[in-house]
């Protein structure tokens, strides 16, 4: 299931949609159970932990939008943290829990990658500003909104072949600008 589908299910759970919780359980339950089982090393404890994890998800689904992270990562973090808490609570005092290899990979870009993306975005914006406004708007509409050449030609009141020429020449100018 796609990340956006899981995010939609979490959003519906935040609205107290029981069917969405059931669908989320079917989609994410096996992965979350595996996380609990790997940490707790007991099937019965992992099953109980999974139930408690979904109660937490039910109660905290509205907080997911604030995280801005991966939906499966958010669910996995809840399962992992809950299972570790249970394991710590049941161990004798002074005994360590082996949590090596239990880290969850963060799918969000690291700060360096985010800075590079922002820098590229500013370069593109600067180059778009060098185009005539109508042509810059046509490029945005074609390549961001996905409008067809025909739709753009009608919107700007120009013949279809003129619109094709506008876009081709605008892309060439953008390429020149970005290559500088």
Segments of the chain scoring below 70 in pLDDT: 1, 65-68, 92-110, 113-115, 117
80 and 115 fall within a common domain: no
Q: What pLDDT, on a 0 to 100 scale, did the predictor assign at position 132? A: 92
Q: What pLDDT, on a 0 to 100 scale, did the predictor assign at position 14? A: 87
Angle between helix 133-140 and helix 111-129 axes, rounded to 10 deg: 140
The first and second tokens of residue 26, run together, are: 């079917």
Q: 92: number of CA atoms within 13 Å, CB side? A: 1
Q: What pLDDT, on a 0 to 100 scale, did the predictor assign at position 4? A: 76
Residue 97 lies in a domain: no
116 and 165 fall within a common domain: yes
Residue located via tokens 């279809």: 160
Question: What CATH number did the domain enclosing 121 receive?
Answer: 1.10.10.10
User: 169 is in which domain, residue-wise?
Assistant: 111-179
Q: What pLDDT, on a 0 to 100 scale, did the predictor assign at position 46? A: 93
Q: What pLDDT, on a 0 to 100 scale, did the predictor assign at position 61? A: 86
Q: What pLDDT, on a 0 to 100 scale, did the predictor assign at position 111? A: 73
Check if the beta carbon of residue 171 is closer than 8 Å to that of residue 140. Answer: no
What's the number of domains the chain is made of?
2
- pTM summary value: 0.51
What is the chain's Cα-based Rg?
25
174 and 117 fall within a common domain: yes
Q: 28: number of CA atoms within 13 Å, CB side? A: 30
Residues in the chain: 180
86 and 17 fall within a common domain: yes
């Amino acid at each position: 299931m796609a990340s956006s589908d899981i995010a939609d299910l979490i959003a519906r759970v935040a609205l107290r949609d029981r069917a969405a919780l059931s669908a989320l359980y079917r989609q994410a339950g096996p992965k979350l159970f595996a996380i609990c089982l790997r940490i707790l090393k007991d099937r019965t404890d992992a099953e109980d932990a999974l139930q408690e994890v979904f109660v937490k998800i039910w109660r905290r689904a509205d907080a997911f939008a604030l995280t801005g992270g991966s939906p499966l990562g958010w669910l996995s973090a809840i399962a992992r943290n809950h299972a570790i808490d249970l394991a710590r609570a049941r161990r004798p005092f002074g005994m360590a829990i082996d949590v090596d290899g239990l880290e969850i990979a963060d799918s969000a870009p690291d700060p360096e990658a985010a800075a590079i993306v922002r820098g590229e975005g500013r370069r593109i914006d600067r180059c778009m500003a060098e185009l005539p406004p109508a042509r810059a708007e046509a490029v945005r509409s074609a390549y961001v909104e996905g409008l067809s050449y025909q739709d753009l030609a009608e919107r700007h009141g120009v013949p279809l072949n003129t619109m094709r020429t506008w876009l081709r020449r605008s892309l060439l100018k953008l390429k020149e600008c970005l290559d500088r």
